[in-house]
């Protein structure tokens, strides 16, 4: 009688998902610290790096909003000066 065939080896979920043996994809560095990104990570290699990137994006957005508001205030002050027929005081 022939021996039963061994049970097929099913790869672990990590292997099925395409993760490497070490779990590191050295082709992309972490945008925050520069270390190699683990496979599957796109934002940062750790919670600390993802938090740093989030803070950086928030600060960048706030700076852009501030520049937009400053430009709008300047435009409004120029318009007020024109409506009053004179130059604004304090403008350099």
Cβ burial, residue 55 (10 Å; 0-12/13-18/19+) = exposed
Say what the pLDDT of residue 16 is: 52
Q: Sketch the domain layout of the chain as residue ranges.
A: 21-83
Model-level pTM? 0.55
Say what the pLDDT of residue 85 is: 82
Say what the pLDDT of residue 19 is: 46
pLDDT 10s digits, 26-61: 678 898 999 988 888 888 889 999 999 999 999 999
Rounded Cα gap, residues 7 and 51, in angstroms: 45
pLDDT 10s digits, 5-24: 666 565 555 555 554 444 55
pLDDT band with cut points at 50, 70 and 90 for residue 25: low
Say what the pLDDT of residue 28 is: 84
């Amino acid at each position: 009688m022939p021996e039963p065939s061994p049970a097929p080896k099913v790869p672990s979920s990590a292997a099925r998902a395409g993760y490497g043996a070490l779990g590191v994809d050295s082709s992309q560095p972490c945008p925050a610290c520069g270390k190699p990104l683990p496979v599957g990570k796109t934002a940062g290699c750790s919670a600390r790096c993802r938090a740093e990137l989030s803070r950086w994006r928030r600060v960048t957005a706030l700076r852009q909003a501030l520049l937009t508001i400053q430009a709008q205030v300047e435009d409004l002050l120029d318009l007020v000066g024109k409506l009053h027929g004179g130059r604004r005081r304090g403008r350099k």
